[in-house]
């Protein structure tokens, strides 16, 4: 029995690694730097190389929340078995791979979530309605919130009433404020995360005022101010250089966030299988990060080109406008352990920034096909995974 359990765990791990590769080649590997590539700030091949490294870092440092949610919170009443996890992962990976090779971005979060729900229901589990409402709310709000913020930011950058030598440093300060308050596993006590601002606040030891940790506020504002000051100095020297550096920094942050979110889609189904064998989560996160990195280096360039060039004619300002809400939404998803599609985040933000320039070259036909692919992948993943696992049980 132990031997067969080890074999099924190994098979599930291989399926998880294949899923990680497919995600790296598709969602997390292609979308973070697509706006920067579209704005000619970085080459396609260099973007694929960097996103792999950054995604690996995000997977290890921020991947635990989403991994645990995918593995234990999508279905109630049952615990995923190795065979069920393998079935769900293979169904989802096959759908994502189809998207990679056809050039249409399939929403990875839709396929993995649908596949795990499908096999869970086939096992006789109960729907986790509370988690579904949380996930559904973010999925529904993402295109509206992301495109709205992107649209407003792009309009601000294009406005004749403002100057980019002021708006770019201020936008960088907003991003710096977010960075200061995102959690990293290595900064907190064992089993918890902690932000840069929280770490600095401990050292400052300032009093709490009206229930607010003044040290946290001071550290956050100091970090944001430092970023603002640096960018202000850069844009005064050379506006284009300041634009490019902000754009590349945003792409890097989104790539890091993608690793923290998307690795959970690959290794999450393995989480229920780890405790019986005494396997800690961190080495599994490392393995998932390696899979993402391999996918980014081998398969991402094709999808980067598809998103960067087919969806909207992007310039530096619209690219910056697209990446700011993408980073913020991604970190919200990581914080609350919600599987989210980076294709949905980035594409909706690109569309919003594109419409700020009277359409910006947005392809409505391509967008229509993409939305249908997203919805179809969710329904198809549930149905196929349910049918395949039900068939396995009958055999």
Question: SS in 3 state form for 261-273?
Answer: HHHHHHHHHHHHH
What is the predicted pLDDT for the residue at 27?
A: 60
Q: Mean per-residue pLDDT for 205-222?
A: 88
The residue with greater pLDDT, 364 or 345, is 345
Whole-angstrom Cα distance, residue 68 to residue 57?
Answer: 18
pLDDT over 60 at 2, yes or no: no
Residue 3 reports pLDDT greater than 60? no
**pLDDT tens column, 93-104:** 787 777 667 766
pLDDT for res 131? 92
| pLDDT given for residue 312 in this prediction | 47
CB atoms within 10 A of CB 276: 11
pTM listed for this prediction: 0.85
Is 86 exposed, middle or buried, given 0-12, 13-18 or 19+ CB atoms closer than 10 A? buried
Neighbouring CB atoms inside 10 A of 285's CB total 26
pLDDT digits (tens, 9 = 90+) for 133-173: 999 999 889 988 999 999 999 889 888 788 888 999 999 99
The whole-chain average pLDDT of the chain stands at 84
Percentage, residues of the chain above pLDDT 70: 87
Question: Contacts from 73-76 at CB under 8 Å and sequence distance 24+?
Answer: 73/128, 73/131, 73/337, 74/113, 74/116, 74/117, 74/120, 74/128, 74/131, 75/116, 75/117, 75/120, 75/121, 75/123, 75/125, 75/126, 75/127, 75/128, 76/125, 76/126, 76/127, 76/128
H or E segment and range at residue 183? strand 183-184
Tell whether the model's pLDDT for residue 360 goes beyond 70.
Answer: no
**Rounded-to-integer distance, Cα 214 and Cα 222, Å:** 12
pLDDT band with cut points at 50, 70 and 90 for residue 328: very high
Ordered by start, the domain boundaries in the chain are 2-394
**DSSP assignment of 207-229:** PEETTEEHHHHHHHHHHHHHHHH
């Amino acid at each position: 029995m132990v031997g067969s359990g080890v074999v099924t765990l190994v098979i599930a791990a291989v399926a998880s690694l294949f899923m990680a590769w497919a995600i790296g080649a598709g969602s997390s590997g292609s979308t973070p730097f697509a706006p920067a590539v579209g704005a000619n700030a970085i080459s396609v091949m260099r973007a694929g190389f960097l996103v792999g490294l950054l995604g690996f870092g995000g997977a290890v440092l921020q991947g635990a929340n989403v991994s645990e949610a995918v593995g234990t919170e999508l279905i109630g009443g049952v615990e995923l078995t190795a065979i069920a996890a393998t079935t769900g992962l293979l169904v989802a990976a096959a759908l994502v791979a189809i998207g990679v090779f056809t050039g249409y971005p399939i929403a990875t979060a839709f396929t993995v979530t649908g596949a795990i729900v499908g096999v869970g229901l086939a096992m006789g589990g109960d729907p986790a309605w509370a988690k579904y409402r949380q996930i559904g709310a973010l999925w529904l709000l993402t295109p509206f919130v992301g495109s709205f913020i992107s649209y407003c930011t792009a309009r601000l950058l294009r406005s004749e009433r403002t100057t980019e030598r002021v708006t770019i440093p201020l936008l960088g300060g907003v991003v710096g404020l977010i960075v200061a308050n995102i959690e990293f596993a290595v900064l907190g006590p064992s089993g918890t995360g902690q932000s840069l601002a929280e770490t600095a606040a401990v050292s400052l030891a300032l009093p709490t005022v009206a229930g607010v940790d003044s040290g946290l506020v001071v550290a956050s504002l100091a970090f944001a101010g430092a970023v603002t000051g640096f960018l202000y100095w850069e844009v005064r020297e050379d506006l284009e250089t300041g634009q490019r550096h902000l754009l590349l920094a945003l792409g890097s942050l989104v790539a890091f966030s993608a690793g923290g979110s998307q690795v959970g889609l690959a290794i999450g189904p393995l989480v229920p299988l780890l405790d019986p064998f005494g396997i800690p989560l961190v080495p599994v996160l490392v393995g998932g990060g390696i899979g993402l990195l391999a996918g980014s280096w081998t398969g991402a360039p094709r999808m980067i080109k598809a998103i960067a060039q087919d969806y909207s004619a992007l310039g530096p300002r619209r690219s910056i406008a697209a990446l700011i809400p993408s980073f913020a939404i991604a970190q919200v998803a990581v914080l609350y352990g919600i599987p989210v599609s980076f294709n949905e985040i980035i594409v909706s933000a690109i569309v919003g920034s594109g419409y700020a320039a009277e359409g910006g070259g947005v392809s409505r036909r391509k967008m229509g096909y993409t939305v249908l692919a997203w919805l179809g992948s969710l329904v198809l993943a549930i149905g196929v995974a349910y049918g395949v696992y039900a068939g396995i049980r009958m055999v």
